Structure 1
Amino acid sequence: MLRRILAVVTGLITGSVCITAIENIGHYFYPPPAESMNGDMEALKKYVAEAPFMALFFVILAYAAAAFVSGFTASKIANNGKPVAAIICGIIFLLMSIYMMSIVPTPIWFWILGILVWGLVFAGHSFALKTKRI
């Protein structure tokens, strides 16, 4: 039981690191205004409304990478062949994504992709099963 809890926690941490890293790359190419980085929600909403496609797509790429990595990590650590730990990570990230999309107005394509990419936890789980034990 402890191993599965550790698997989920580690999956969430690695997924969060992926999101942060890839979003930072996106911010390098498409810098948001300083006000939005300081917690000004109105500035963030305005930025998202006017942001170019690729600025928002970096967030989707971050979600996709996080889904795969968290599914892989959770499955490797759980080491029981079941996708439960990966699914829990995916559900937690999905709920966080839906919350963020609901407080920061995003286009419909972002909602669709932002929800669908969390299914990649299954790809991460599958890949974890196919790789050798460390």
Structure 2
Amino acid sequence: MLVGVVVAVVVIAAVEVIGHGFYPPPAGLDPLDPANEAAFAAFVAAMPFMGKLIVLLAWVLGTFAGALAAAKIARHQTAAALLVALVIVTLVITMITKIPHPTWLSIGGVLLPIPIALLAVRLVYRRTTLPRVP
């Protein structure tokens, strides 16, 4: 599960960096600095729809990649993948409680990780249970 969480966070960060290339934050804005929460909230509020969609895409792709990695290496595939999804949901909830996000983005960020993780498990399960063709 730990590998899955690391993979998920790396993918989320990578997609968000790409998104910041299209929709850059103001210079000097450090989202990790609590003193900048108001400025970061203003940045999120002013971000165009596509920028916000990239954030949701980051959360979904990160969850999928992390759950897939966890499911591939874990003995209990579903449990590992769901734990990765729950960590991502927790991080999303933490983010949306600190920085206001649009309702649709908050709902998507909370509801999508579980089915995405189950999809990853399904893909791993299908791959490991199909007979090999010589």
TM-score above 0.5, yes or no:
yes
- Which residue matches 1:122? 118
- Which residue matches 2:67? 71
Stretch deviating more after TM superposition (99-108 or 112-121): 112-121
- Which residue matches 1:57? 53
- Which residue matches 1:20? 13
- Which residue matches 1:3? none
**Equivalent residues of 1:36, 1:44 under 8 A apart:** yes
- Which residue matches 2:98? 103
- Which residue matches 2:132? none
Q: How does 1:2-17 map to 2 (within 5 A)?
A: 8-17=1-10
1:43 paired to 2:39: yes
- Which residue matches 2:79? 84
Residues in 2 aligned to 1:36 and 1:93: alpha-carbon distance in whole angstroms = 23
Aligned residue-pair number: 125
Q: TM-score, normalised by structure 2?
A: 0.87
CA shift for structure 1 position 35: 3.2
CA shift for structure 1 position 132: 4.7
1:31 paired to 2:24: yes
CA shift for structure 1 position 54: 1.0
Stretch deviating more after TM superposition (18-27 or 64-73): 64-73
Once the two structures are aligned, what percentage of the paired residues are identical? 30
CA shift for structure 1 position 79: 3.7
| CA RMSD, 1 decimal | 1.6
Instruction: Write the letter of the residue equivalent to 1:123.
Output: L
Q: TM-score, normalised by structure 1?
A: 0.87
CA shift for structure 1 position 36: 2.2
CA shift for structure 1 position 130: 2.0
